[in-house]
Amino acid sequence: MRTVFDVPYSARENALINFYLPDHDNFATVIFFHGGGIENGNRKMDPELAEALTSQGVAFASVEYRMYPTARFPEFIEDAAESAAWIKKNIATYGGNDKIFISGSSAGAYLTMMLYCDKHYLAAHGLKSSDFTGFISDSAQLTTHFNVLRERGASTKLERIDEGAPLYFVDESLTLTPLLLIYYSNDMFCRAEQNRLFHRAITHFFPEAKIPMVELPGGHCAGRFKKENGEYDLINTIMDFVKPLI
């Protein structure tokens, strides 16, 4: 495995990517947005998770993005789009091919799903969701994110579907790029229900849509943590989705 850290994707301060790369060239890449409620975490999280994916021959690109309290909606989503566009344009420099997946856990999955659903973020960079090989959502909030609600002065317990919610953009114009939805048996309040609603909403418009939805055991984002056998539920689930597409 090779590592290339602190790669800038923008002139903005701390707009950086940490790359974990296979030793060979012509590899697929999973872009990863970390969790933390859009207020905690960083690109240096989950190095063992990154190494576990890279050991399967797939690169892991961990992205830093703006967060609360200094960020404001939708700056963190704009950062996600900008970093994905930069990686798509430049990954060949590091030996990658054109098989690129956008993914994230929790808050990072919310960013992933906003890029999947609201076309204008990627369009700002001349891209669309189908320019990527697939999207992987690990326990996304699919209503308006609770910290976006807090920014508005609203209760974080509310369930709202508006321009800050991936669900808001589910209609007949949605592009059905391959998508994997993951949630947990003991997930955060309403998180499993939101994922099932999102899945059902898509199939309401696209009855033949094939969108895998996987319930993993444990609490919120438990798949990120190593099991006693040394494996990661999240990595195994991702690879089951990725392998047929690469």
Nearest by Cα to 181 from 173, 190, 192? 192
Token pair for 230: 């040394």
pTM for this predicted structure: 0.98
DSSP state of 130: G
What is the per-residue pLDDT for 217? 97
CA dist list (Å): 153 to 120, 157, 161, 166, 232: 26, 12, 16, 20, 38
What is the per-residue pLDDT for 229? 92
Total of domains in the chain: 1
What is the per-residue pLDDT for 149? 98
Nearest by Cα to 216 from 205, 200, 203, 232? 232
Taking only Cα atoms into account, the Rg of the chain, rounded to an integer number of angstroms, comes to 17
What is the per-residue pLDDT for 216? 98
CATH of the domain at 70: 3.40.50.1820
Q: Which residues contact 138 (CB under 8 A, 6 or more apart)?
A: 103, 104, 105, 106, 108, 109, 182, 221, 223, 224, 234
Q: Residue 220: which pLDDT band, with cuts at 50, 70 and 90? A: very high
160-199 confidence digits (pLDDT tens): 999 999 999 999 999 999 999 999 999 999 999 999 999 9
Burial of 156 (0-12, 13-18, 19+ CB in 10 A): exposed
User: Which stretch of DSSP H or E encloses residue 226?
Assistant: none
What is the per-residue pLDDT for 162? 98
What is the mean pLDDT of the segment spanning 109-117? 98
The dihedral sign for the CA sequence 89, 90, 91, 93 = positive
User: Which stretch of DSSP H or E encloses residue 89?
Assistant: helix 75-90
Token pair for 130: 């189908």
What is the per-residue pLDDT for 111? 99
Pairing relation of β-strands 16-21 and 2-8?
antiparallel
Contact 133, 28 (CB under 8 A): yes
145-164 confidence digits (pLDDT tens): 999 999 999 999 999 999 99
Q: What percent of the chain has pLDDT over 70?
A: 100
What is the mean pLDDT of the segment spanning 49-61? 97
What is the per-residue pLDDT for 50? 97
Q: Which residues contact 182 (CB under 8 A, 6 or more apart)?
A: 136, 137, 138, 139, 195, 213, 214, 215, 216, 223, 234, 237
How many angstroms separate the CA atoms of 66 and 50, rounded?
A: 21
Q: Residue 79: which pLDDT band, with cuts at 50, 70 and 90? A: very high
Pairing relation of β-strands 134-138 and 179-186?
parallel
**Hey, is 134 helix, strand or coil?**
strand
Contact 83, 92 (CB under 8 A): no
What is the domain range of residue 126? Answer: 2-245
